[in-house]
């Protein structure tokens, strides 16, 4: 099977740049969802300022992860997604601590696990689906 005949989850008619934009949008939406879930579960307000105040360290970490992994080269792949995830967690938690916000061990564990499920989960699903379509 040639690479041009391989089926993918994302139609081949979608340009690479649009795939990158889609992947970034998914990652940002999932980081914001993580923040919304966390703020809601702790009875914190869901205000734009509150969400932004909680999200910014992780969004900076996400951007750093994309740059470090050069994830735009393979935006749907799991391998660069590992770097994106790890950098999002580490940079996000470091910035959060620097800003004086809590980074208790329970929060660190939940952050790492939830963001792994979110940032790696969708990439894994795309990879699994793509490999099944290639068979």
pLDDT in tens, 125-134: 998 887 666 6
pLDDT tens by residue, 36-47: 999 988 877 788
Q: Within 1-135, where are the H helices?
A: 16-41, 48-69, 78-98, 105-134
Is 4 a member of any domain?
no
Q: How many domains does the chain have?
A: 1
Average pLDDT over residues 74-88: 97
Is 54 a member of any domain?
yes
pLDDT of residue 57: 97
Is 64 a member of any domain?
yes
Is 97 a member of any domain?
yes
Nearest to 102 by CA among 53, 37, 46: 53
Phi, psi at 100, each rounded to 5°: 90, 10
For the whole model, what pTM was predicted? 0.85
Neighbours of 54 (CB within 10 A): 20
Find the domain containing 113 and state its range. Answer: 15-134
67: Cα separation from own chain's centroid: 13
pLDDT of residue 59: 98
Is 7 a member of any domain?
no
Is 44 a member of any domain?
yes
**Residue 51, C-beta contacts closer than 8 angstroms, at least 6 positions apart:** 32, 35, 36, 39
Is 5 a member of any domain?
no
């Amino acid at each position: 099977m040639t690479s041009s005949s391989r089926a993918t989850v994302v139609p081949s008619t979608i340009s690479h740049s649009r795939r990158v934009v889609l992947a970034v949008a998914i990652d940002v939406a999932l980081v914001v969802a993580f923040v919304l879930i966390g703020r809601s579960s702790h009875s914190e307000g869901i205000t734009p300022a509150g969400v932004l105040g909680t999200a910014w360290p992780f969004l900076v970490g996400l951007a750093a992860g994309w740059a470090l992994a050069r994830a735009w080269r393979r935006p749907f792949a799991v391998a660069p997604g590992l770097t994106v995830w790890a950098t999002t967690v580490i940079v996000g938690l470091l910035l959060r601590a620097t800003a004086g916000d809590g980074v208790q061990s329970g929060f660190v564990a939940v952050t790492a696990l939830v963001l792994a499920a979110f940032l790696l989960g969708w990439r894994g699903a795309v990879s699994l689906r793509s490999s099944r379509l290639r068979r």
